[in-house]
Structure 1
């Protein structure tokens, strides 16, 4: 099974042969693997932390883990998911060290928010990106994991060691806050 993942900066496809070379300790092969994935994985780090320095540090730590554990990778065809999981776990560890707080559903009173009339204002990429970055860390983490990394609510709950209903509530509130912030910018 072959997987052809490339980024715009490096057209080298990630293949079974490349992964096999990495498993044998070929440093050049690992550099090719890094070049193929680093941009996409950096973007995950940046989305989850919102901080360039933290994203760079997390990326470096994640690829050290990839290098040290490449021999454990069962199938080369799953390398993308495997590296992404390492990166996401590094991001979550970083957020835990920063004591990101997730409100449990039972801890908060649900307040009725005004409905957002989306007609008459423009959704721009920069407005949405800025709104997501302005979210509290807990909301931002759940929103990123669900929307961009495509994890299920159940998977996110397991990753963050919180209830699935808390994940759903955090996601719902994050979406609403983004809508409100974009509306205010218009």
Structure 2
């Protein structure tokens, strides 16, 4: 079995030599997955497409720094996430504590059946989260980063990452419950 780090090695080596057809092939292999990462971070299709292009351009420029210590997809995903975070930071968006979301009283679980979760209604719910909560939710739950890593990436405290994640998770549950009640 080929180790993850060596998947597509021939294509990667051809990219390092500047072969355009290899770059195109590598792009075709990873663009969809990396777009999904970018979209979850940016919450906007056009911005996600821009970040995807910028990420691939950066990856191709830094291809010589890829040393097969991790899977190429993991290396590329880190570039995509950092590119998105840099773009968000350039807009000078501050992470908020989202306290205003929870001003209303929460109802206790009445033992009713849980709402049906679909990709569409979860995505719709995520789009309604404040940017900070959405980023942390995406990095933790969808990208698999732990709170220590998220804190380092975003320049926040680990406890802030944890509390933002819990608030985002609760808010998504509320949105999904509201969607189900309204028949969405």
Q: Distance in 1 between matches of 2:109 and 2:37?
A: 29
Partner SS for 2:62: helix
Instruction: Number of aligned residue pairs: give it.
Output: 176
Q: Distance in 1 between matches of 2:170 and 2:50?
A: 31
Tell me if structure 1 keeps the 8 A contact 2:40–2:138. Answer: yes
Match of 1:131 in 2: 125
Q: Distance in 1 between matches of 2:110 and 2:63?
A: 50
Match of 1:87 in 2: 80
Tell me if structure 2 keeps the 8 A contact 1:143–1:174. Answer: yes
Deviations 1:156-182 (A, max 9, x none): 000000000000000000000000111
Give 1:52-131 correspondences, 5 Å limit: 52-75=45-68, 78-103=71-96, 113-117=106-110, 119-120=112-113, 121-131=115-125
Partner SS for 2:53: helix
Structure 1 segments, 4+ long, off by >3 Å, are 1-4, 110-118
Tell me if structure 2 keeps the 8 A contact 1:14–1:33. Answer: no
Taking structure 1 as reference, are residues 115 and 94 closer, same or farther at Cα in structure 2, changes over 3 Å only? farther
Give 1:141-156 correspondences, 5 Å limit: 141-156=135-150
Q: CA deviation at 1:117?
A: 4.6
Q: Distance in 2 between matches of 1:74 and 1:144?
A: 27
Deviations 1:127-170 (A, max 9, x none): 21111111000000000000111001000000000000000000
Which TM-score applies when normalising by structure 2? 0.86
Match of 2:34 in 1: 41
In structure 2, runs of 5+ residues without a counterpart are none
Q: Distance in 2 between matches of 1:115 and 1:143?
A: 23
Match of 2:156 in 1: 162
